[in-house]
Structures are given as C-alpha cells and as structure tokens.
Amino acid sequence: MALFISNMIFWNKWSPQIIVASVISSTILLIATQLLIRVVNKQGEVVVGIGAILLFKGFLANWLEGFTYPIEGYFEKLGTDADVSINLFSFRCS
C-alpha cells in the first residue's frame, strides 16, 4: 500500500500511459462538469428567469448563514405587485 501511495505522489515513477490517461480523463471530467453546470443554469434562466446556480447560492446563504438579502433580492426580481383583498370572519363565543 505504501508503495502505491508513493507511486501516486511521485510522477516520475508513473508510466507515460498512466499520465496520458490521467490527463485525458481529468480533461473530459472538467469539460463534462462545465457543460452540466451551464445546462442547469440555462434551464433555470428559461424556467424562472434567474440562473439556477445564483438562486441556489442565495438559498444556501439564507439557510446556512441566515443572510436574507441575496434570496430576497432574487424574490424581488421574480415577484409582482398586486392589490389583494382579504375578508375575515370572526366568531366570538361567550
């Protein structure tokens, strides 16, 4: 096991095929990740009007740290003003 870890740390002991395969697979994974993020963000812009990544960051900031201004700003962009009438019935028992 220690030999395997030392081979991972020192690139000069890796064979050229392993280095090329590692570089190619890492490049493919980075490109696939970028494409996935762009597709998800673009779909959020189409459906909601705000990028999904920005909306998710605002949600996380509110949920984890209690910051309300990022998500409230997005809700202000999404919301509309309307006059709403409210009727209330109250029954009192003595």
24-50 pLDDT, tens digit each:
999 999 999 999 999 999 998 998 888
H helix runs in the chain, sequence order: 2-9, 16-47, 52-60, 69-78
pLDDT for position 50: 87
Q: Is this structure's pTM higher than 0.75?
A: no
CA proximity to 18, closest of 50, 53, 10: 10
Q: What percent of the chain has pLDDT over 90?
A: 23
Query: What value does the mean pLDDT take over residues 73-91?
Result: 86
pLDDT for position 3: 57
Query: What value does the mean pLDDT take over residues 52-74?
Result: 88
The CB density around residue 43, as the number of other CB atoms within 10 Å, is: 12
pLDDT for position 79: 84
- Tokens 């890796």 correspond to 14
